[in-house]
Chains A and B, each alone.
Chain A
């Protein structure tokens, strides 16, 4: 049983903003920084492009974790997109919490284009955390 948990490699859906976090992830790659192969990245133009519905859809489809990453506050390519994204994320997390689902599976991170290390660290940490929580059980639900 213990071994199963060890072997479990979570599937994390990551929405990465085009201008910062995606470039950060790129940098992590080109710098050959090691991080777990758990992430399915989706490039979005801005973290504020992430409709809370995307996250709900991902969760109900069985994603073990969802990461939303954007520019640091103040650095948004569109000036204020990430501020909106933050408010939406706060709301979404609260809703998830209030209806008894698992807010731990959601994560918001600010990662700039120069922070390859931070990207790798975020993914590593998040993956470890999800490994501890275990698989998302909606994966095999029929009555959704």
Chain B
């Protein structure tokens, strides 16, 4: 699709009613879509029975939709992982609408490029994202967390959200087949924008006409993105000074216990058996001893940095800065911030934004003959 066509598709949005709040409005829209057999099932977050967290649920029974929670206060499961769980082994035979945050959709798109999801019969629906709370903060007091979150969303205030969310300049990025915007909408409505043929088909079948102008939403989104981008640069500057050099880097990861939680929850790290859990990193005792002898002592397990930097090499071009790794780290290492910082740099080298567009090939699976000369040795 050319850039122009893309713009045209997006130009107008359909307005939907949200008399009982955005959540009800979105649920209503999904229910109608299911009524008309546009979707057979919906993948959407729901509260767990104990009321202390949220998880994705694939809903086929429409009556369950009333418990759906399109914008949960935490990201306990990355949506990309959820879509991959359903379609990793083949395309879905039923039509599924997946409602998630922009970074989750971007992860889904990256996973698709990596052959880990099949988007046939999946319609991705994104939402303006206010960010989420740090998982551990929320779990300490779910009730209070919910209250604080609702309050913050009503003011679109991100100060209590996770650090990666505070500096996310893609929180309203239109990347799915459909995008739900409510950032600038009147109190009792929200709008839905189609971003692909699949998306337009849904809107057509619902016989709603996209006629609303969204330029004021766009202006607002741009303003917020700009502000967050500034924050991003600031955070990275600060972070860089903290982790610069080998000693600082070692200090940053000094408390890593090699649980590999970060890898396991990362939506982009999809390997069934991680290289860093494989036999490749298991050595005979002499090897460890030799290494210890040259230095006097080595940390055991060794190679904490090899894992962290190695993982960076494996996934930074596809990192979507979703923050899952930081949430899952039992030692509160700012993994997501560090990885985001590196990802921004590596992706910009290839003019690539992970998950922006399904058509853009992964930078390492393609090349141009005439590029990156600045990286070559000039021989004086």
Which residue of chain A has the shortest Cβ distance to B50 in the bound complex?
A: A143
Cβ of A142 under 8 Å from chain B: yes
Expressed in whole angstroms, the Cα–Cα distance for A143 and B77 within the complex equals: 13
Q: Mark B37-81, 1 if CB is under 8 A from A, else 0.
A: 000000000001100000101000000100000000000000000
* 6 contacting pairs across A/B (C-beta < 8 A): A142-B57, A142-B64, A143-B48, A143-B49, A143-B55, A143-B57
Q: Is the interface of B mostly helix, strand, loop or mixed?
A: mixed
Expressed in whole angstroms, the Cα–Cα distance for A63 and B263 within the complex equals: 35
Q: Is the interface of A mostly helix, strand, loop or mixed?
A: loop
Report the interface size for chain B: residues with CB under 8 A from the other chain.
Answer: 5
CB contacts (< 8 Å) of B64 on chain A: these are: 142
Which residue of chain A has the shortest Cβ distance to B49 in the bound complex?
A: A143
Expressed in whole angstroms, the Cα–Cα distance for A143 and B52 within the complex equals: 13
CB contacts (< 8 Å) of B55 on chain A: these are: 143
Min distance, Cβ B204 to any Cβ of chain A, angstroms: 32
Min distance, Cβ B313 to any Cβ of chain A, angstroms: 36
Expressed in whole angstroms, the Cα–Cα distance for A143 and B58 within the complex equals: 10
Expressed in whole angstroms, the Cα–Cα distance for A3 and B64 within the complex equals: 29
Which residue of chain B has the shortest Cβ distance to A142 in the bound complex?
A: B57
Q: Mark A130-143, 1 if CB is under 8 A from B, else 0.
A: 00000000000011
Contact residues, A86-144 vs B (CB, 8 A): 142-143
CB contacts (< 8 Å) of A143 on chain B: these are: 48-49, 55, 57
Min distance, Cβ B76 to any Cβ of chain A, angstroms: 12
Expressed in whole angstroms, the Cα–Cα distance for A49 and B90 within the complex equals: 30
Min distance, Cβ A26 to any Cβ of chain B, angstroms: 36
Expressed in whole angstroms, the Cα–Cα distance for A142 and B64 within the complex equals: 10
CB contacts (< 8 Å) of A142 on chain B: these are: 57, 64
Expressed in whole angstroms, the Cα–Cα distance for A138 and B213 within the complex equals: 49
Expressed in whole angstroms, the Cα–Cα distance for A143 and B54 within the complex equals: 11
CB contacts (< 8 Å) of B48 on chain A: these are: 143
Min distance, Cβ A75 to any Cβ of chain B, angstroms: 41
CB contacts (< 8 Å) of B49 on chain A: these are: 143
Which residue of chain A has the shortest Cβ distance to B67 in the bound complex?
A: A142
Which residue of chain A has the shortest Cβ distance to B55 in the bound complex?
A: A143
Min distance, Cβ A138 to any Cβ of chain B, angstroms: 13
Expressed in whole angstroms, the Cα–Cα distance for A24 and B78 within the complex equals: 50
Would you list the 6 A-B pairs with minimal beta carbon distance, nearest first?
A143-B48, A143-B49, A142-B57, A143-B55, A142-B64, A143-B57
Min distance, Cβ A139 to any Cβ of chain B, angstroms: 14
Expressed in whole angstroms, the Cα–Cα distance for A108 and B48 within the complex equals: 35
CB contacts (< 8 Å) of B57 on chain A: these are: 142-143
Min distance, Cβ A9 to any Cβ of chain B, angstroms: 24
Expressed in whole angstroms, the Cα–Cα distance for A143 and B55 within the complex equals: 9
Expressed in whole angstroms, the Cα–Cα distance for A143 and B64 within the complex equals: 12
Min distance, Cβ A54 to any Cβ of chain B, angstroms: 21
Expressed in whole angstroms, the Cα–Cα distance for A18 and B361 within the complex equals: 53
Which residue of chain A has the shortest Cβ distance to B64 in the bound complex?
A: A142
Expressed in whole angstroms, the Cα–Cα distance for A143 and B67 within the complex equals: 13
Expressed in whole angstroms, the Cα–Cα distance for A76 and B365 within the complex equals: 57
Which residue of chain B has the shortest Cβ distance to A141 in the bound complex?
A: B49
Which residue of chain B has the shortest Cβ distance to A140 in the bound complex?
A: B61
Min distance, Cβ B356 to any Cβ of chain A, angstroms: 34
Expressed in whole angstroms, the Cα–Cα distance for A138 and B48 within the complex equals: 16
Contact residues, B18-52 vs A (CB, 8 A): 48-49
Expressed in whole angstroms, the Cα–Cα distance for A134 and B49 within the complex equals: 23
Expressed in whole angstroms, the Cα–Cα distance for A27 and B330 within the complex equals: 58
Min distance, Cβ B49 to any Cβ of chain A, angstroms: 6
Expressed in whole angstroms, the Cα–Cα distance for A142 and B48 within the complex equals: 10
Expressed in whole angstroms, the Cα–Cα distance for A14 and B111 within the complex equals: 40
Min distance, Cβ A29 to any Cβ of chain B, angstroms: 37
Contact residues, A48-90 vs B (CB, 8 A): none
Which residue of chain A has the shortest Cβ distance to B47 in the bound complex?
A: A143
Contact residues, B140-181 vs A (CB, 8 A): none
Expressed in whole angstroms, the Cα–Cα distance for A143 and B45 within the complex equals: 12
Expressed in whole angstroms, the Cα–Cα distance for A142 and B68 within the complex equals: 13
Expressed in whole angstroms, the Cα–Cα distance for A142 and B65 within the complex equals: 13
Expressed in whole angstroms, the Cα–Cα distance for A108 and B57 within the complex equals: 36
Min distance, Cβ B253 to any Cβ of chain A, angstroms: 35
Min distance, Cβ A141 to any Cβ of chain B, angstroms: 9
Expressed in whole angstroms, the Cα–Cα distance for A143 and B57 within the complex equals: 8
Expressed in whole angstroms, the Cα–Cα distance for A143 and B46 within the complex equals: 10
